[in-house]
């Protein structure tokens, strides 16, 4: 059901019955290591190219999500996913292996929650019994595609972000045990005129703030109704800007915890990740690993995840364009949340 300005309220509260999270070595040395299903100890993952390694991450995450749901691939009606690689090849190739009807979606790093929102919509409206959302990123594929040849090892400013090597998948069902998807807000494209691709957190912060405020207003809630509000990958710079923008808008964050998946996935003091993590895999592995585990333990009852995406391409940047950004948000609740 459409409510407010741009929010889907899921009357039947679809359930995330299972997840799969697979990450690379840096994430395996980060503070959330124990929450991932599988940690690769190198970036190659026995594949001949980083692109094949990225695809393997997603294939493994989706395989785990299906297995953990005690289902077979054929039971899943639709697979919804996308990634940062040109023509979202990681997802398309993984969908070929899965053989599940496939909806490719793209919102840069916001794809993590865009795919969960669409999968939940399909289940909520009876257009699927089971739908799987999945997304991934790999540090070396993003580096070579968006920045410089990876081997070049170029130096970066401290505002830059470090793409997460990881994939997360979730199976959404009409019935079952687990956190429920209550509502989703589809973001608008917002552009504050940032042109520096080494400062994507700043570019994305206004979109995150707009979507979070809209989501909470559309649901007639306040921030304090949430145990946790997280953005996707604003990292240090973007997170600080987002807090400033909330203050400017007189939108109170009192009574909630406001954090960012890009700050949670790495130890930004000890690991060489500049301002923090980014990538389609970032909010996916943090949400489907750490956050859902805390919800299941009863530590968090209601959580808002606003994944963030910078909608640039290397070509749009080279042609002097600014960086349009978007954020898609999802509210998750454990059954007994009030």
Taking CB under 8 A as the criterion, the residue among 44, 63, 196, 321 binding a second copy is 321
Half-sphere exposure of 10 (CA within 13 A, CB side): 29
| Residue from 17, 24, 93, 119 binding a second copy (CB under 8 A) | 93
- Out of 67, 71, 89, 253, point to the residue binding a second copy (CB under 8 A): 89
Q: Which of 46, 250, 319, 338 touches a second copy by CB under 8 A?
A: 319
The answer to whether residue 49 forms part of the interface with a second copy (CB under 8 A) is yes
Shortest spacing between CB 316 and a second copy, in angstroms: 5
Q: Judged by CB under 8 A, how many residues of this single chain contact a second copy?
A: 58
The sign of the dihedral angle between the CA atoms of 150, 277, 197, 111 is positive
Give the residue ranges of DSSP H helices in 17-71.
25-28, 50-68
Residue nearer to a second copy on the CB measure, 103 or 169: 103
**Beta pairing, strands 228-231 & 78-83:** unpaired
Rounded to whole angstroms, what are the CA distances from 276 to 22, 50, 71? 19, 21, 36
Confirm or reject binding of residue 108 to a second copy (CB under 8 A). yes
Pick one of 103, 171, 202, 219: the residue that binds a second copy (CB under 8 A): 103
Least distance (Å) between residue 99 CB and a second copy: 6
Q: Please report how close the Cβ of residue 33 comes to a second copy at its closest, in angstroms.
A: 31
Cα 183–189–195 angle (5° rounding)?
135
Does an H or E element contain 228, and which? strand 228-231
Query: x-or-dash pattern for a second copy, window 116-145, by CB under 8 A?
Result: --x--xx--xxxxx----------------
Q: At its nearest, how many Å lie between a second copy and the CB of residue 201? A: 18
Q: Indicate which single residue of 29, 33, 96, 158 sits in contact with a second copy (rule: CB under 8 A).
A: 96
Do the strands 7-9 and 2-3 form a parallel or antiparallel pair, or are they unpaired?
antiparallel
Using CB under 8 A as the binding rule, whether residue 235 contacts a second copy is answered as no
> Is there binding between residue 114 and a second copy (CB under 8 A)?
yes
User: Could you tell me the maximum CA-CA distance found in the chain, to the nearest angstrom?
Assistant: 52
**For a second copy, which stretch binds (CB under 8 A), given 13-21, 88-96, 151-159, 226-234?**
88-96
Site membership for a second copy, residue 190 (CB under 8 A) = yes
Helix (H) or strand (E) holding 121: helix 111-124
Q: Does 293 bind a second copy (CB under 8 A)?
A: no
Strands 228-231 and 162-163: unpaired
CA–CA gap between residue 17 and residue 161 (Å, rounded):
32
DSSP SS3 for 168: strand
Please tell me the distance from the alpha carbon of residue 119 to that of residue 113, in angstroms, as a whole number.
10
Which spans of this chain sit near a second copy (rule: CB under 8 A)?
A: 1-2, 5-6, 8, 48-49, 51-52, 77-78, 82, 84-89, 92-93, 95-96, 99-108, 114, 118, 121-122, 125-129, 185-191, 311-316, 319, 321, 324, 326
């Amino acid at each position: 059901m459409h409510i407010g300005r741009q929010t889907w309220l899921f009357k039947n509260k679809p359930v995330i019955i299972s997840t799969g999270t697979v990450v690379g070595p840096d994430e395996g040395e980060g503070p959330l290591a124990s929450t991932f299903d599988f940690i690769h100890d190198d970036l190659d993952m026995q594949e001949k190219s980083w692109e094949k390694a990225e695809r393997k991450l997603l294939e493994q995450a989706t395989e785990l999500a299906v297995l953990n749901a005690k289902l077979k691939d054929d039971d899943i009606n639709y697979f919804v996913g996308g990634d940062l690689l040109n023509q979202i090849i990681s997802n398309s190739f993984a969908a070929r292996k899965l053989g599940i009807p496939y909806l490719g979606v793209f919102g840069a790093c916001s794809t993590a929650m865009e795919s969960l929102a669409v999968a939940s919509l399909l289940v909520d409206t009876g257009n699927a019994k089971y739908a799987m959302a999945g997304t991934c990123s790999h540090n070396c594929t993003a580096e070579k595609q968006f920045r410089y040849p990876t081997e070049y090892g170029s130096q970066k400013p401290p505002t830059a972000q470090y793409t997460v090597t990881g994939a997360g998948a979730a199976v959404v069902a009409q019935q079952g045990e687990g956190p429920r998807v209550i509502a989703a807000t589809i973001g608008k494209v917002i552009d504050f005129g940032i042109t520096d691709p080494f400062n994507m957190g700043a570019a994305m912060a206004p979109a995150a703030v707009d979507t979070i405020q809209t989501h909470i207003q559309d649901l007639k809630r306040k921030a304090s109704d949430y145990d946790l509000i997280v953005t996707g990958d604003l990292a240090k710079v973007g997170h600080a800007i987002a807090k400033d923008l909330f203050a400017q808008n007189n939108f109170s964050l009192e009574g909630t915890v406001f954090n960012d998946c890009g700050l949670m996935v790495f130890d930004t003091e000890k690991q060489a990740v500049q301002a923090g993590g980014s990538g389609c895999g970032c909010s996916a592995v943090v949400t489907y690993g750490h956050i859902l585990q805390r919800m299941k333990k009863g530590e968090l009852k209601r959580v808002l995840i606003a994944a963030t995406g910078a909608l640039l391409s290397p070509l749009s940047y080279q042609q002097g364009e600014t960086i349009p950004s978007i954020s898609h948000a999802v509210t998750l609740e454990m059954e007994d949340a009030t």
